[in-house]
A and B are shown apart, each in its own frame.
Chain A
């Protein structure tokens, strides 16, 4: 069995690298068009992302939210549930954590952290439980419901931070800062890399174990591969759907908490620049596999952290990073058979 697993790993490595390589080649062509040397730019990118301990820390810091959003996406995709609502759960969870961490008395000290994490997980889980329940109970298309819930999450959190939760002192669009005691510890000061990264890696590992070493995880995989079979084997398909949606929400919420308590220390309108969607790209690239997703998250983290510096040292606009990300998302799904994707309405 060992060689099979090795072959499977090779296959997923290829699945990871091919879309990325194609995207880089296309981006390279763009660079040539604007008169830059793509090799030099990509060299600079690599240098800026991995060239020193400080830079690596910065890359990992950028990768941190993606670890959560990728797992949150993968856990659903693997079960054939096409949840695109991780972004919304990330926002809801982030605000819940930040709220706990500034609204509860500072005297609670370090216990604020677990309280905030639990609040975020609960908020995220409830947020995605709803479309999960709608899917299981009424067959409400989860793609559209979760997409709409993203906008609704953005609107509600946006309303709250502009209204009831608006900071009295900090100006527009943001909550008050959280108590110092609720800050997640920094791992490599002065870099912003914080303990959330370790939580993210732990979530990744737990996800891998869950898939293999729990009945629910194995059932999730079977439901994703063949719903009819799963049902005939007595596996509750609707129960599995709701479970993975709740887990997805909890993990996304935890990601929001990590971002709020470790990176921003408050919640603002611009809390997430689309971490949920980048996480989806990471999950697709990594084919829902923990190792693949860690590599994918770090690659995207590198692009994000080095992109800023690239803009300083060359004439290449930061937007190159978005171009690469968009291309990766598209190429990652081309010729790639996700379980039960499309269009079961006609099936």
Chain B
């Protein structure tokens, strides 16, 4: 029983919103109140339910129960168009700009100023004046006449924000706006958002970076497994407290016990001064040198977008390095293609399980055996033996106790955790010397996470070498023998197992500073 007065002063809010997708309760009884001229941070790990909440706030999803509050009263929004018309604008992680059109054209697209008179045409002078005025208001400079696709990333983001303001947005929802930005650009963005706040705009700031939240927000709401677990004014809390609530009130997961090593020892993978070519004046990778030994897990920590995924792709042979050298067990693989790398003993667990790690419409059997189709016993002479393929798939999956219906089912019928186990089963089946592992537990439930961590530990114990990239710092801390920190495409430091989150965090930032 909700009284209207309860929502007085709420510009945008949620009143006990719940939403389930099939058996998954994505949001449960979420309440939230964004006040005028306030920046309200929504934090939580990937999959905590933030995006479902945002979709409901914009009317893209209908809540199962509860209601969205706009200007103090419950509303039922029909979608982003109506949300925009009522002053709610969203800045997506993926920018909504047409790359071949100029920034100015993108700015006015959909609400073009027109000249008066019989030959009505777009009033470019008015458009540019609009853009300049709004850019000045938030203290940025934009060259409006470059194609959006070749403008720097932060300028694209500014353009999005300016476009929302121009269309009358007074409430901004920013979905992890710093994920794609370099640290100086983050500062610029924050300055801009503070100006907007001073001007009376209200903002929901979605993030999972605690320092950013404490630096920018007025209030914070922590969502965990679809529920609000903590809400406070920033002044009344601390980064540590927020962090505790993000990972849960229970103690953070203990480091995975790393068993004594057996089997191989010694260096297996050596990277020597790897660089990628310049793209928009930026090198994704700069002078990466590292040595990976048998029987160790090396974690690569860093803010997303600092070169980790590019390094994984370079190692997997999906992206070319401009200079530098890759050697596996002494053999030079710098110029080898993916097939040769796999044959030489390099396994790859892609961050994009759904579109690179797996072929969703193909069968479980084929997904499990892909890459082995030219090797005996699946191949015999020029032919492929389906019976051997099925047998091999069954053996690989049984080995890791992956649960599946039938080998002929599409792999999309498996749960996220079982899909990832299947990927592991495939990648370790050929006994590779090195596994390049990227975001291994993304979109995997808790049980699945535990299993995957155990599998990585087992592989290490048997003498395997793992290069682990994860956006979940605690995952890296729990699993790694040593931790390398990446910033701006370079390795900026190394820390031993047991290093604290603060030490790692400091290094991420420091590296970024001198980069």
A-B pairs, 8 with minimum CB distance? A234-B339, A1-B408, A233-B371, A226-B359, A234-B338, A215-B373, A233-B370, A229-B359
B316 engages A215 (CB within 8 Å) = no
B325 to chain A, nearest CB (A): 21
Question: In the complex, are the beta carbons of A225 and B374 less than 8 A apart?
Answer: no
Contact A229 B339 (CB under 8 A): no
State whether the Cβ of B304 lies closer than 8 Å to any Cβ in chain A.
no
Q: Using CB atoms, name the residue of chain A closest to B408.
A: A1
Q: Are A222 and B359 interface neighbours, CB within 8 A? A: yes
Closest-CB distance, A238 to chain B (whole angstroms)? 10
Q: Judge whether A312 is part of the interface by a CB distance below 8 angstroms.
A: no
- Chain A residues whose CB sits within 8 angstroms of the CB of B356 once the complex forms: 228-229, 232
Asked if residues A4 and B409 are in contact (CB atoms below 8 Å), the reply is: yes
A159 within 8 A of B: no
Residue in B337, B361, B379, B383 whose beta carbon sits within 8 Å of that of A234 in the complex: B337
* Residue with the highest number of chain B CB atoms closer than 10 Å, among A226, A230, A234, A235: A234
CA distance A1 to B407 in the complex (A): 8
Q: Is B355 on the interface with A (CB-CB < 8 A)?
A: yes
The interface size bin for chain B is: 35 or more
Alpha-carbon distance between A230 and B373 when the two chains are bound, in angstroms: 12
Q: Is the CB of A215 within 8 A of B379?
A: yes
Flag whether A219 is at the interface (Cβ < 8 A).
yes
Give chain A residues whose Cβ lies under 8 Å from the Cβ of B348.
232
**Do the beta carbons of A234 and B342 come within 8 Å of each other?**
yes
Nearest-CB distance from B424 to chain A (Å)? 14
5 more CB-based (< 8 A) A-B contacts, given A212-B384, A221-B362: A225-B361, A231-B318, A231-B338, A235-B371, A236-B337
Check if A151 is an interface residue, CB within 8 A of chain B. Answer: no
Complex contacts, A217 vs chain B, CB 8 Å: 384
Interface residue? A214 (CB, 8 A): yes
Shortest Cβ distance from residue B378 to the other chain A in the assembled complex, whole angstroms: 8
The CA of A234 and the CA of B366, in the complex, are separated in Å by 14
CB-CB under 8 A from B407, the residues of chain A are: 1
Does chain A have a CB within 8 A of B392? no
Residue of B nearest to A1 (CB): B408
**B342 & A229 in contact (Cβ 8 Å cutoff):** no
Nearest neighbor of B378 in chain A, beta-carbon distance: A215
- Asked whether A225 and B359 contact (CB < 8 A) given A4-B408, A215-B379, the answer is yes
Nearest CB in chain B: distance from A320 CB, A: 38
* A226 vs B363: C-alpha distance when bound (angstroms): 13
- The proximity string for A residues 45-70 relative to B, scoring 1 for CB distances below 8 Å and 0 otherwise, is 00000000000000000000000000
Contact A229 B386 (CB under 8 A): no
Complex Cα gap A226–B362 (Å): 9
Contact status A213-B359, CB under 8 Å: no
CB<8 Å pairs between A and B, sample of 27: A1-B406, A1-B407, A4-B408, A4-B409, A5-B408, A213-B383, A213-B385, A214-B383, A215-B378, A215-B384, A221-B362, A222-B362, A225-B361, A225-B362, A226-B355, A226-B360, A226-B361, A226-B362, A228-B356, A229-B359, A231-B338, A232-B356, A233-B338, A233-B371, A234-B340, A234-B371, A235-B370
